[in-house]
Amino acid sequence: MTQQQTVLLTDRAWPDDSIERDILEEAGFRVVAGPADPAPVEAIDALVAEHQPAAILTCWATVSSEAVLSSASLQIVARMGVGLDNIAVPAATNRGVLVTNVPDYCVAEVSDHAVGLALAWTRGLVAADREVRAGKWNPAGARLRRLSTLTCGVIGYGRIGRATAAKLRALGARVVISDPHAPADTDGMEAMPLDDLLAASDVVVLHAPLVPQTHHLIGERELSLLPQDAFVINVSRGGLIDTAALVASLESGHISGAGLDVLEEEPTVPQELLAHPGVIVTPHIAFASDASVIDLRRSAAEEVVRVLRGEPAHYPCNTPSPLTTGVSS
């Protein structure tokens, strides 16, 4: 009798694991779930070593190289999300383990969030609400802008960047893009080098992945290229922006604000950001809606089922080496 394969669900950002469990158990797999909140890397390593899963489903928890190497039966690490910065992808590739993600589940939500932050800044929505709640009624003091007169720069022109650019252009803004891997068809958006985009943009929206080459993509030099009173939006990964440089630019008055759904050290929010009237911070929710989270959970679990049944993955993120098998000594 063939031994039942195990799937380890490391963590989750929702109340229960019923969707994932139903899909996986119906397909004949055993499900082991870690704590809802992501456990420390050592705890995840221990779970993998103990249960020897054929698949790991992870949301925010770190899947280290040690975890990848410790399960002899591991075939897939599936990210319940888009970014892969919490997974040791090179180790998985060398070990012959497939890494997948769900790149298309929250395109509408993240692009809506980015545009919402831009509108909140141009119309002063958050700042005005704060003032009214504090007992101030000062319409003459509002510094508002017309979005259709502004240039919006979108950094990263994948699925979500493309959606954000289209929505901003539909609102009348001039939209420019920068992406080292931009497609030949940019839907009529003007593509330009990053420095040129920064110098031209009143609003900058980050839609780039966090990889070693993009860590602190926006730092002191890049912020200095922005026009006076520009607004920076990050709905991708906190590590794309050098937080200290962002704070310095805000406090000097060079840029007027920032809309941040992600931070370098979540959930810690630097006091300087909280104190600045032009900063809007949301708690890493740009991806979320009732519909998107259901899509995410189903898609990630179904990808695991496909791979463990020997079928092609829909969203492979690496090309596993065929040469390395078994547990590393």
Interior CA angle at 323 toward 317 and 329, to 5°?
100
Let me know if 237 is a catalytic residue.
Answer: yes
**Among candidate residues 292, 293, 279, 284, the one with its CA nearest the CA of residue 251:** 279
Cα–Cα distance list, 198 to 67, 82, 165, 225, 250 (Å): 40, 25, 15, 6, 16
Let me know if 20 is a catalytic residue.
Answer: no
The residue from 12, 207, 284, 297 that is catalytic is 284
> How would you class 72 by CB atoms within 10 Å of its CB: exposed for 0-12, middle for 13-18, buried for 19 or more?
exposed
Let me know if 174 is a catalytic residue.
Answer: no
Do residues 34 and 44 make contact, with C-beta atoms less than 8 angstroms apart?
yes
The residue from 50, 265, 266, 311 that is catalytic is 266
- Please name the residue that has the structure tokens 């809007």: 280
Six token digits for residue 62: 């770190």
Maximum Cα interatomic distance, the chain, rounded to a whole number of Å: 78
User: b/e for 6-25, b at 16 or more Cβ within 10 A?
Assistant: bbbbbbbbbeebebbbebbe
The residue from 237, 276, 297, 303 that is catalytic is 237
Which residue numbers are catalytic?
Answer: 237, 266, 284
